[in-house]
Structure 1
Amino acid sequence: MAILEKNYEIDNRTGLNHEGPDANIPVRRLTATSIIGDRVENGEGEDLGKIDNLMVNLSNGRIEYAVIDFGSFLGIGGKLFAVPFAELHLDPGRELFILKRDKSYLKSVPGFDKSHWPDTNDHSYFNDVNTYWGTPSYPL
């Protein structure tokens, strides 16, 4: 009998477990590398960019923010945004994330450029981000 090797690449790319007793259960966990680079759209199907990076709170292990690259072309120009990860909703069938905001909202959100990141250890910066997005702040 041949031993089959598990192909995690397919599972991570599609967000579905394709084999075993729990095949195709709802997606509960993904690797960071399968999230980074994923497209982001709003509910109307408008392109809002892609996930450039993830910000992990080392005290509690939570992914607090996705850094979304909006408006760049081939990595040039554009603006980065710290978006509370809870604002993103996975669409596993389309292999992308949905952010329930329109493009005009993103154009008005305070952001930063790739060469001038905010102080990511400054708790007040992330409190400001949470206030702007209307999401609760987590304790340090």
Structure 2
Amino acid sequence: MNYQEQDTYGMYKNRSSDGPGPGLMGANTLDGNDVFNRQDEDLGDIKEIMLDMGTSRVAYAVLSYGGFLGMGNKLFAVSWNALTLDTANKRFVLDVDKDRLENAPGFDKDQWPDMADATWSKEIHDYYGVTPYSDGRV
């Protein structure tokens, strides 16, 4: 699924440089978006967007990977800074090999980690090789 298919308000129709689009997008249109790597392998889809309420920034995208018909999926928190939008294919790209994602720190849908924990956050950002925020805050 992609952001245009999720657009119930029509915000991406008749897009001009002044309207919503890849520069400014509705969070609800990103849920369910496909995530691929640079090798064009399907890495799953976005299940949730996590906002850092203290800094007013997008902190993580929670990806779902694996399983069948929603069963056995593993969830991963990926730093928002690790994702790039592929506007040609209307999907996100995460520059990570599929094997590396399979071994990434993940969690079960019923056992979410404390994403505000600085130690956990550092581990996630280090794993994907990204800086949390340009000002160095976690």
The 4+ residue runs of structure 1 with deviation greater than 4 A are: 23-26
Select 1:18's aligned residue among 14, 32, 37: 14
1:50-72 alpha-carbon deviations (Å, 9 max, x no partner):
00111111111111111110113
Structure 1 pair 23–63 and aligned structure 2 pair: CA distance change class (3 A): closer
CA shift, 1:123, in A, is: 2.1
Question: In 1, distance between residues paired with 2:20 and 2:49?
Answer: 24
Structure 1 pair 61–25 and aligned structure 2 pair: CA distance change class (3 A): closer
Return the TM-score normalized by structure 1.
0.81
Question: In 2, distance between residues paired with 1:45 and 1:118?
Answer: 29
1:73 counterpart = 2:68: yes
1:30 counterpart = 2:31: no
CA shift, 1:10, in A, is: 5.6
1:137 counterpart = 2:132: yes
Select 1:92's aligned residue among 87, 93, 101: 87
CA shift, 1:24, in A, is: 8.5
CA shift, 1:134, in A, is: 1.6
1:69-113 alpha-carbon deviations (Å, 9 max, x no partner):
011322111211111111111112222101111110101111111
1:43 counterpart = 2:38: yes
Question: In 1, distance between residues paired with 2:25 and 2:40?
Answer: 23
**Structure 1: gaps spanning 5 or more residues:** 1-6, 12-16
**Structure 2: gaps spanning 5 or more residues:** 1-7
Structure 1 pair 24–32 and aligned structure 2 pair: CA distance change class (3 A): closer
Task: Tell me what 2:78 maps to.
Answer: 83
1:7-44 alpha-carbon deviations (Å, 9 max, x no partner):
84360xxxxx6255x37997201111111110001112
Higher helix share: 1
Task: Tell me what 1:61 maps to.
Answer: 56
Please report the RMSD computed on the Cα atoms of aligned residues, expressed in angstroms: 2.2
2:36–2:44 Cα contact (<8 Å) kept: yes
Return the TM-score normalized by structure 2.
0.82
Question: In 1, distance between residues paired with 2:18 and 2:69?
Answer: 36
**Structure possessing the higher radius of gyration over alpha carbons:** 1
Q: Secondary structure at the match of 1:9?
A: coil
Give the length in aligned residue pairs.
128
